[in-house]
Amino acid sequence: MLQGRAAELDQLTALLTRARQGHSSALVLRGEAGIGKSALLAETTTLAEAQGFKVLRTTATETETDLPFAALHLLLHRDTDRIAALPAPQAAALRTALGLAPGAGAGHGPTDGDGATSAADRFLTGLAVLTLLAELADGQPLLCVVDDAHWLDHASAEALLFAARRLAAEGVVLLFAVREGHAPRFPAPGLPESRVTGIDDLAAADLLAEHAGDLPPYVRAEILSEARGNPLALRELPAAQREGHLGALAGPARAVALPQGSRVQQTFVDRVTALPEATRTLLLVAAAEGTGDLEATTAAAGALGAGVADLEPAERRQLIRLEGGRLVFGHPLIRTAAYQSAPLAARVAAHRALADALPRVGGADRRAWQLAAASTAPDEYVAAALEETARQARARGGYAAEAAAHERAARLTPDGADRARRLALAAVAAADAGQSAHAADLARHAAPHLTDPAVLARLARVRAGVAREREEFDAAHQVLLDTASAVADRAPDTAATLLYEAMTAAWVAGHRPSIDEITDRVAALDLAPPSGAPPYLPAVDGIARLAAGDPGRALPPLRDLFGRLRGGAHGLGLRERASIATWFAPLGDLEGGIELAAELERECREQGAVGPLPLVLLLRARARVLLGRHGCAVAGAAEGVRIAEDSGQRHYAAQLTGVLAYLAALGGDEARVKELTSFIDPRQAPPGRVWSAAAQPLLDLGLGRHEAALRGYEDLAAGPASHTTVALYCVPDHVEAAVRAGKPDSVRELAARYAEWAGHTGTSWARAVAARCRGLLAETEAGGADAVHAAYEEALRLHADDGRPFERARTRLLFGQWLRRAGHRSEARGLLRAALDVFEQVEAAPWAGRARAELRATGESRAPRGPERLTAARLTPQERQVVRLAATGLSNRDIGAQLFLSPRTVGYHLYNAYPKLGVASRGDLPHLNLQAD
- Please, are residues 48 and 17 in contact by the beta-carbon 8 Å criterion? no
pLDDT tops 70 at residue 815: yes
pLDDT score for 106: 35
Residue 869's CB is within 10 A of a number of other CB atoms, namely 10
- CA pseudo-torsion sign 473, 474, 479, 482: positive
Question: From the CB of residue 123, how many other CB atoms can be counted at a distance below 10 Å?
Answer: 24
Separation between Cα atoms, residue 578 and residue 601, nearest integer Å: 10
The pLDDT of residue 104 is above 60: no
Domain 413-587 homologous superfamily, CATH: Tetratricopeptide repeat domain (1.25.40.10)
Q: What is the band of 145 on the pLDDT scale with cuts at 50, 70, 90?
A: very high
Amino acid 827: pLDDT: 94
**Per-residue pLDDT tens digits for 897-925:** 888 888 889 999 998 888 888 888 888 88
Tell me: pLDDT of 85 over 50. Answer: yes
Contact by Cβ (8 Å): 769, 780: no
Hey, which residues does 31 pair with through a beta bridge? 179
> Could you give the 3-state DSSP secondary structure of residue 302?
helix
Distance CA 5, CA 208 (A): 15
Residue 929, pLDDT score: 65
Cα–Cα distances in angstroms (integers) from residue 272 to residues 322, 344, 364, in the given order: 17, 16, 30
Q: Name, in order, each residue with C-beta under 8 angstroms of 817's C-beta and a sequence gap of 6 or more.
A: 828, 832, 854
End-to-end CA distance of the chain: 57
Mean pLDDT of 570-588: 88
Neighbouring CB atoms inside 10 A of 616's CB total 29
Mean pLDDT of 811-815: 97
pLDDT for the residue 425: 93
Q: How far is CA 635 from the centre of its chain?
A: 17
Q: pLDDT of 490-529, one tens digit each?
A: 999 999 999 999 999 899 888 889 999 999 999 999 898 8
What pLDDT band is residue 105 in, cutting at 50, 70 and 90? very low
- List pLDDT tens digits, range 597-609: 999 998 888 777 7
Under a CB-based contact definition with an 8 Å cutoff, are residues 808 and 802 in contact?
A: yes
Residue 9 contacts residue 131 (beta carbons within 8 Å): no
Q: Is the pLDDT at 236 greater than 80, yes or no?
A: no
pLDDT at 933: 55
pLDDT bracket for residue 217 (50, 70, 90): confident
Angle at 478 between CA 477 and CA 481, to 5 degrees: 85
Neighbours of 859 (CB within 10 A): 10
Beta-bridge mates of residue 54: 142
Question: Which residues make Cβ contacts (< 8 Å) with residue 265, sequence separation at least 6?
Answer: 333, 336, 337
pLDDT of residue 268: 84
Q: Please report the pLDDT score of residue 757 as a whole number.
A: 97
Domains of the chain: which residue ranges? Answer: 6-102+122-195, 201-267, 275-374, 413-587, 875-928
* pLDDT, tens digit (0-9, with 9 covering 90-100), for 376-412: 999 999 999 999 999 988 888 888 889 999 999 999 9
pLDDT at residue 865, as a whole number: 66
693-698, long-range: CB within 8 Å, 24+ apart, which pairs? 693/658, 693/719, 693/721, 694/658, 694/662, 694/726, 694/727, 694/730, 695/658, 695/661, 695/662, 695/664, 695/665, 696/665, 697/730, 697/733, 697/737, 698/662, 698/665, 698/666, 698/730, 698/733
pLDDT tens track for 251-290: 332 322 333 445 677 888 888 999 999 999 999 999 999 8
Per-residue confidence (pLDDT) for residue 220, from 0 to 100: 75
* Radius of gyration for the alpha carbons in the chain, expressed in angstroms and rounded: 33
- Integer CA distances (angstroms), 743 to 478, 713, 737, 749, 782, in order: 42, 13, 9, 13, 15
pLDDT of 616 over the 80 cut: yes
**Contact of 328 with 301, CB cutoff 8 Å:** no
* Residue 325 binned pLDDT confidence (cut-offs 50, 70, 90): confident
CATH number of 875-928: 1.10.10.10
CA distance 897 to 562: 30
Q: What are phi and psi of 143, to 5 degrees?
A: -110, 125
In this predicted structure, the answer to whether residue 862 has a pLDDT above a threshold of 60 is yes
> Measured between alpha carbons, how far is 708 from 361 in angstroms, rounded to an integer?
74
CA atoms within 13 A on the CB side of 709: 25
Q: Is the pLDDT of residue 413 over 50?
A: yes
- Adjacency order of strands within the sheet including 142-147: 54-59, 142-147, 172-179, 25-31, 193-195
Round to whole Å and give the CA distance between 662 and 692: 6
Share of the chain above pLDDT 90, in %: 58
| Distance from C-alpha of 761 to C-alpha of 119, rounded to nearest angstrom | 37
In this predicted structure, the answer to whether residue 868 has a pLDDT above a threshold of 50 is no
Q: Band the pLDDT of 107: cuts 50, 70, 90.
A: very low
Alpha helix stretches (DSSP H) within 412-435: 416-432
806 contacts 628 by C-beta, under 8 angstroms: yes
| Cβ neighbours of residue 25 closer than 8 Å, sequence gap 6 or more | 15, 18, 19, 167, 172, 173, 174, 192
Angle at 402 between CA 287 and CA 299, to 5 degrees: 30
Banded pLDDT at 866 (limits 50, 70, 90): low
User: Any idea what DSSP says for residue 251?
Assistant: S
pLDDT at 646: 81
State the average pLDDT for the chain. 87
Q: Give 818 or 99, the one with higher predicted confidence.
A: 818
Output the pTM of the full model. 0.82
Q: Sign of the CA dihedral 452, 457, 459, 460?
A: positive
d(CA 202, CA 195) in angstroms, rounded, equals: 20
Q: Are 248 and 254 in contact (CB under 8 A)?
A: yes
CATH of 6-102+122-195, one of 3.40.1160.10, 3.40.390.10, 3.40.50.300, 3.40.1500.10: 3.40.50.300
For position 758, what pLDDT does the model report? Answer: 97
Confidence of residue 816 (pLDDT cuts 50, 70, 90): very high
- Determine the pLDDT at residue 607: 77
688: nearest Cα among 699, 702, 677, 701: 677
Cβ atoms of residues 814 and 789 within 8 Å: no
What local confidence, expressed as pLDDT, does residue 253 receive?
29
C-alpha to C-alpha distance for 823 and 380, rounded to whole angstroms: 91
How far CA 786 is from CA of 752, 799, 828, in Å, comes to 20, 20, 16
Burial readout 216-233 (b: 16 or more C-beta within 10 A, e: otherwise): eeebbebbbebbbbbbbb
Alpha carbons within 13 angstroms on the beta-carbon side of residue 499 total: 36
pLDDT tens per residue across span 763-812: 999 999 999 999 999 999 987 899 999 999 999 999 998 889 999 999 99
pLDDT at 724 over 80: yes
